[in-house]
Amino acid sequence: MFNIFNKKPCNDPELLKRIQEDGIDYAALRFSQILIRDYLTRRIDAYNFILQELDGARQGNEQAKNFALESGIDSKEYIGTLKLDTPHLDSAQDFLIALSAKLHPKMDISISLKLKILENLMKYYGIGKYEL
């Protein structure tokens, strides 16, 4: 009658469909490439961005917490970085926030995608456990 038991659909069903068809790894690779090309062109910016994301991840679900713990970056480096004023990283942050909003309420997919994007950035720039 009121459909109160129906789950809310994804905000962007087309994006969700493409991720499901192409796989999270491929989608994360494409979004990582956009971040690197348009927002995080310098390693230092990518590093600071990753620190802030790890600070958020350590406060998230178990998957995110484990990612932060296994990142190869000492927690002393990233704890508290979310509170820092970093306007040069705002565009990259906004990009990830918009991506997450499009996938809402599919948080499991959103979190997996976001963590895979971070892993790709870490690999590309040789950060954390990918440092040479």
- In sequence order, which residues have a C-beta less than 8 Å from that of residue 36 and are 6 or more positions away? 46, 121, 124
In 3D space, the residue among 80, 71, 81 whose CA is nearest the CA of residue 128 turns out to be: 71
Predicted pLDDT at 132: 85
Asked whether residue 84 carries a pLDDT value surpassing 50, the answer given is: yes
Asked whether residue 1 carries a pLDDT value surpassing 80, the answer given is: no
% the chain with pLDDT above 70: 95
Predicted pLDDT at 8: 79
- 8-32 mean pLDDT: 96
Every domain of the chain and the residues it spans: 13-130
Please tell me which of 1-5, 6-10, 123-127 the model is most confident about, judged by mean pLDDT: 123-127
pLDDT in tens, 28-78: 999 999 999 999 999 999 999 999 999 999 999 999 999 999 999 999 999
Predicted pLDDT at 106: 96
